[in-house]
Amino acid sequence: MKIKLIYLNIPFWRAEIGRIALYIGNIDFEDVRISRDEFLRSRKTGELDDGTVIPFRQIPCLNIDGKSINQTGGISRFCGKISGLYPIENAVDAALIDQIIDMATDITVLLGPSLKEKNEETKKIMREKLARGALVRKISYLEELLEEGKRDWFVNQKISIADLAIWRLIGWLTSGMIDYLPSDLVAPFPNLKRIFLNVERHPKVIEWIKMTYPEDYIFSDID
Ligand SMILES: N[C@@H](CCC(=O)N[C@@H](CS)C(=O)NCC(=O)O)C(=O)O
């Protein structure tokens, strides 16, 4: 099976779930990182420059033996299944993981309007309001899920694509890349912090960060 995972050259959670799951599972894949210009061209034509089809003209996109597949959820589940980070037979655990991936989408969607906003002052007001209200509230709902027992992972005591999604989502929200969001957004949430650190201390994740993230990436110590 020849697998290509197509996204921009950034460690955004939508692509990183698949990339890291495949890396953890020692699955051979081509980590295709397109330029913004090529992405914009593909939005017009529905194809990359080499002719690879991009369904729905959005990314990430997975290509398996020449067949293109779109949508973060489906891509993440496929990569998780072949890597051992998503259950193939346990439908309940699968659904418990799915709800986390969809929550990562809900949280990302909240940021959408402010990402498009051109007026800096308006953007600042929007982001500060989110950080006081809806954003932190949704993050607190993830924390609520973890409050029963001292869990190391979201589902069934083992790392899954749900943990990868939330690690990278929190990493994005607190990286300073999104102006006006505080870097201590998860400070009030000890269980989420534990999951975050468990992912970031996973030996294969450390390898992946060292191989693909900017050299100045700061490993978190958010205790
Ligand atoms: N529903 C899609 C959304 C993906 C998405 O919004 N991707 C952005 C880049 S991060 C994109 O391709 N935007 C262009 C567009 O939506 O036309 C998914 O879950 O993967």
For residue 75, which atom of ligand 1 is closest to its CA? 20
pLDDT reported for residue 221? 62
Does residue 222 surpass a pLDDT of 70?
Answer: no
Task: Find the 184 Cα to ligand 1 centroid distance in Å.
Answer: 27
pLDDT reported for residue 223? 45
Averaged pLDDT score across all residues of the chain: 95
Range of the domain at 184: 91-202
Q: Is residue 171 domain-resident?
A: yes
pLDDT in tens, 76-101: 999 999 999 999 999 999 999 999 99
Q: Is residue 222 domain-resident?
A: no
Domain count within the chain: 2
Does residue 170 surpass a pLDDT of 80?
Answer: yes
| Co-location of 55 and 134 in the same domain | no
Average pLDDT over residues 140-157: 93
Q: Is 36 in the pocket of ligand 1 (CB under 6 A)?
A: no
* Window from 24-38, 82-96, 166-180 with minimum mean pLDDT: 166-180
Q: What is the DSSP string of the chain?
A: --EEEEEESS--HHHHHHHHHHHHTT---EEEEE-HHHHHHHHHHSB-TT--B-GGG-S-EEEETTEEEE-HHHHHHHHHHHHTSS-SS-HHHHHHHHHHHHHHHHHHHHHHHHHH---HHHHHHHHHHHHHTHHHHHHHHHHHHTTTTT-SSSSTTS--HHHHHHHHHHHHHTSSSSTTS-TTTTTT-HHHHHHHHHHHTSHHHHHHHHHHS-TTPPPP---
Task: Find the 11 Cα to ligand 1 centroid distance in Å.
Answer: 15
CATH of the domain at 183: 1.20.1050.10
pLDDT reported for residue 177? 85
Give the confidence band of 216 by pLDDT, cuts at 50, 70, 90: confident
Q: Is residue 209 domain-resident?
A: no
Ligand 1, atom 14: nearest CA belongs to which residue? 58
For residue 73, which atom of ligand 1 is closest to its CA? 19
pLDDT in tens, 111-141: 999 999 999 999 999 999 999 999 999 999 9
Q: Is residue 220 domain-resident?
A: no
Ligand 1, atom 16: nearest CA belongs to which residue? 58
Q: Is residue 207 domain-resident?
A: no
Cα 81 to Cα 9, 17, 94, 138: the distances in Å are 24, 12, 10, 27
Does residue 149 surpass a pLDDT of 90?
Answer: no
Q: Is residue 216 domain-resident?
A: no
| Co-location of 70 and 119 in the same domain | no
Q: How would you write 79-99 as a 3-class SS string?
A: HHHHHCCCCCCCHHHHHHHHH
Q: Is 77 in the pocket of ligand 1 (CB under 6 A)?
A: no
pTM of the model: 0.96
| Co-location of 61 and 128 in the same domain | no
